[in-house]
Structure 1
Amino acid sequence: MSPAAVASRTPIALYALTVGAFGIGTTEFVIMGLLQQVAADLHVSIPAAGLLISGYALGVFVGAPVLTLLSARWPRKAVLVALMVIFTLGNIACALAPGYASLMAARVLTSLAHGTFFGVGAVVATSLVAPERRASAISLMFAGLTVATLLGVPAGAWLGLHLGWRATFWAVAVVGVVASLAVAAWVPASVRGGEPAPWREEVAVLARPQVLLALLMTVLGFGGVFAVFTYIQPLLVEVTGFSQAAVSPILLLFGAGMIVGNLLGGRLADRRPITALLGTLAALALASVVLALSVHAPVAMVLAIGLLGVGAFATVAPLQLRVLQEAQGGQNLASSLNIAAFNLGNAFGAWLGGVVVASAAGLPATPWVAAGVTLTGLAVAAWSVRLSQRGRTAVACAQAG
């Protein structure tokens, strides 16, 4: 099918979700390129400025389940618009923050919209398309996050360098206004995105072993990515031998790989969800191994970085779809918690990678550890699939008997 034909079948509401995802992705990661400016302007150390990233991640982890439960009975469109308003106000507060504490508070406020927007947005996205295109709808929304990594974050860092870090947050706030208007204009008021359920029913879904296994495989899958990606700059410079100036162009290749992997994972999950789940996790582990074998070969290392980007985001749609499939009756909370699980994986991977870097093994060992963590996630996924197959077999036998 031609790209034009695919585009003609894509509801415009999905593009509104993509714009929102772009803004959220930009504000989450752009602080990495502003640490020196923020630290100097607010008179704090670089490590203290780095805690602004941790504070955001913590806000996502806590805010996702809380806001999802509080808004469970609201119309889905109203929830999405409200979240984008929170996001916009949070970025305005960041731009106006007079000191470090107020900037941290503003970052946490902004982060509260993150997990619930992606969680509810993923459920809404799947309701806008035919069942056989649900994973592609999820990947289209998450394309905003990948484009943010490829373009939004470098643009924000450039803007911060030339006009000051506050200008970057003003620019992201403008994106938030555009996204709010797009959601208000394009998302149908009648969109359901999962039947609202009482909070007890939403929470009860978390007692299902398959839902917990799905969340665990998300934590481990992305934990593997960030065990190495958090330290990719010193790995490229100190081990592979690239100059500091070469790091940004190489990371653009990682971002391009994320876009390819995101769309590829969605297409595969639409056709064969189980194969996509297991295959993308296996591919991500393999990409980490290739990276480990390439750390002393500059050309191979560049290619491996691109493959890591493909493998990392090829897992997103299959993992999110798995949670939605197993959480019938409480999809909104489970979907939001899976976004929190991605962020928990980020934090876990960064911590584990730090332990490795500080050990005798050092930076060259981080890709091997990343591969091990992802393979553990693959093992959890295989076990989950096996349990599902046994359950279906038992039901079939009982019916036949």
Structure 2
Amino acid sequence: MDIHCIEQQTGGVRAVTAASRKYAWVVFALTFGLLLSDYMSRQVLNAVFPLLKHAWGLSDTQLGSLSGVVALMVGLLTFPFSVLADRWGRVRSLILMATLWSLATLGCAIATNYGEMLLARALVGLGEAAYGSVGIALILSIFPAHLRSTLTGAFMAGGAFGSVLGMALGGFVAVHLGWRASFGAMACFGFVLVTAYLFVVSDKRIAARFPDAPSTKRQASGMRTSLRALLAGLFSTVSVVCAYLGSGLQLFIMGAVIAWMPSFLNRYYALPADKAAAGAAVFVLLGGVGMVVCGVVTDRLCRNAPSRKWMTAIAYCLSSAVLLSIGFRLDAGAMQLVLLGAGILVVAGTSGPAGAMVANLTPAAIHASAFATLTLANNLLGLAPGPIVTGAIADRIGLLGALQIVPLVSIPAMLAFAVGRSRYARDLDRIDALRGAAATK
């Protein structure tokens, strides 16, 4: 009888574990879906660049600012909003953010001039500010630690996949129904996903199914971290700072290429707006696939030697710099497109290794804030200035000349990752010692 009871209890535990595992993937799928909406709303603008340029007579600098202002707002606000989300509830914060960016995208559809569009785009950035950092922190809190590079790479790849959908679908809708309809379609997609998220995911359900997750423990106990302690945890080592810097600098290239690839194909391959957007979407899709593949490869190569993740990041930087530099200097044609595709495949491969390093080098209880800091670096150093700087250079020497210069940003990114690698072992030992000391108190 006792044995039968034990077997029943064991079966119950297994059932709960299986149910929790399934629910974790449901949470991942819906959170990933909202990330798609995030980037669809952000990048649909790039698909209609040629149409806006013609309709309103905008310069390349103005077009770049409409793209870059979103990343700028994300960079400025991601940290404070992520700290608030850790305290207020991550799921509630994600729902509020998605609702705001969907409303702002609808505002883009009714803008009548450059100033109104710039304001609407800034509000899109306001809504999207902390979504990436809070979303990945939520996901990492309910999955095993050994999947961190894979999950981080896969989740961040959602930005590339969302960009693909935003540009391809946005270009198609713009040509057939007008550019305003493109923004309206992205807004509707966001509202549908927000509704689904609202009914399926909640902080209470996650806390009930994953009571051992650091984030749920922290929220349940009502812990509050002082600003001084928070900053100490976020910038406690040289290597974590290098991870922030290397990731942000490398994404400068990704941000520039995503924003300007439709215009590149339109100007140098004489493709109409919809075909240029669809062609650019293929390149961005390669970038997203590369983020996932590079994350998986990094986890497998570095399973028994985590420090190798720094070397994989350096390898991705070097490969992208060589391939893109050569590609943008070739004449228009098949060989140029092949090299550009290969370069874009690895250009954002650093996302997985950098995210894993940040997670390893910061306390689990402040992972939302840690990924907010990583997002801040990604946006202020990379995604925000990438389109703007490229547009400003393009006004002076042409878009092709600007894109030939952009891959050189990989050089300082490699230097940052190299310094991080040299300090990683001692920094990790120091963090482990501090954690051990804290546990004995």
Q: Same fold (TM over 0.5)?
A: yes
Provide the TM-score with structure 2 as the length reference: 0.76
2:325 corresponds in structure 1 to: 292
The question of whether the paired residues in 1 share the 8 Å contact of 2:310 and 2:421 is answered with: no
2:286 corresponds in structure 1 to: 257
Q: 1:280 to 1:392 in 2, by over 3 A?
A: closer
Asked whether 1:221 is paired with 2:250, we answer yes
Deviation at 1:128, TM superposition (A): 2.3
Distance, in Å, in 2 between the alignment partners of 1:72 and 1:130 is: 20
Deviation at 1:316, TM superposition (A): 1.6
Distance, in Å, in 1 between the alignment partners of 2:35 and 2:366 is: 22
Asked whether 1:108 is paired with 2:110, we answer no
Deviation at 1:121, TM superposition (A): 0.5
For structure 2, the 5+ residue unaligned runs are 1-20, 207-212, 437-441
Deviation at 1:64, TM superposition (A): 0.9
2:341 corresponds in structure 1 to: 306
Distance, in Å, in 1 between the alignment partners of 2:177 and 2:226 is: 46
Aligned AA (2:377): A
The question of whether the paired residues in 2 share the 8 Å contact of 1:64 and 1:113 is answered with: no
Deviation at 1:13, TM superposition (A): 0.8
1:45 corresponds in structure 2 to: 58
Aligned AA (1:323): V
The question of whether the paired residues in 2 share the 8 Å contact of 1:253 and 1:305 is answered with: no
For structure 1, the 5+ residue unaligned runs are 1-6
Structure number with greater Rg is 2
Aligned AA (1:76): R
Distance, in Å, in 2 between the alignment partners of 1:204 and 1:247 is: 47
The question of whether the paired residues in 2 share the 8 Å contact of 1:135 and 1:267 is answered with: yes
The question of whether the paired residues in 2 share the 8 Å contact of 1:214 and 1:381 is answered with: yes
The question of whether the paired residues in 1 share the 8 Å contact of 2:43 and 2:166 is answered with: no
Asked whether 1:283 is paired with 2:316, we answer yes
SS in structure 1 at match of 2:348: helix
Deviation at 1:67, TM superposition (A): 1.6
1:376 corresponds in structure 2 to: 412
Deviation at 1:73, TM superposition (A): 0.8
Identity percentage of aligned residues: 20
Q: 1:268 to 1:289 in 2, by over 3 A?
A: same
Pairing of 1:89-238 with structure 2 (within 5 A)? 89-190=103-204, 191=206, 194=215, 195=218, 197-198=224-225, 200=227, 201-208=229-236, 209-226=238-255, 232=261
Q: 1:292 to 1:253 in 2, by over 3 A?
A: same
The question of whether the paired residues in 1 share the 8 Å contact of 2:68 and 2:385 is answered with: no
**Deviation string, structure 1 residues 245-304 (Cα, Å, up to 9, x no partner):** 575564344123123212112213433254344324423322331233343253321111
Q: 1:287 to 1:72 in 2, by over 3 A?
A: closer
Q: 1:242 to 1:164 in 2, by over 3 A?
A: closer
Deviation at 1:206, TM superposition (A): 3.8
The question of whether the paired residues in 2 share the 8 Å contact of 1:126 and 1:193 is answered with: no
Q: 1:347 to 1:388 in 2, by over 3 A?
A: same
Distance, in Å, in 2 between the alignment partners of 1:144 and 1:393 is: 33
Deviation at 1:88, TM superposition (A): 1.9
The question of whether the paired residues in 2 share the 8 Å contact of 1:69 and 1:199 is answered with: no
Count of residues paired in the alignment: 389
**Deviation string, structure 1 residues 72-110 (Cα, Å, up to 9, x no partner):** 311221111111111222222223345443332222112
Distance, in Å, in 2 between the alignment partners of 1:145 and 1:187 is: 21
Aligned AA (2:296): R
Provide the TM-score with structure 1 as the length reference: 0.83
Residue of structure 1 aligned with 2:271, choices 244, 269, 275? 244
The question of whether the paired residues in 1 share the 8 Å contact of 2:311 and 2:421 is answered with: no
Distance, in Å, in 1 between the alignment partners of 2:58 and 2:430 is: 59
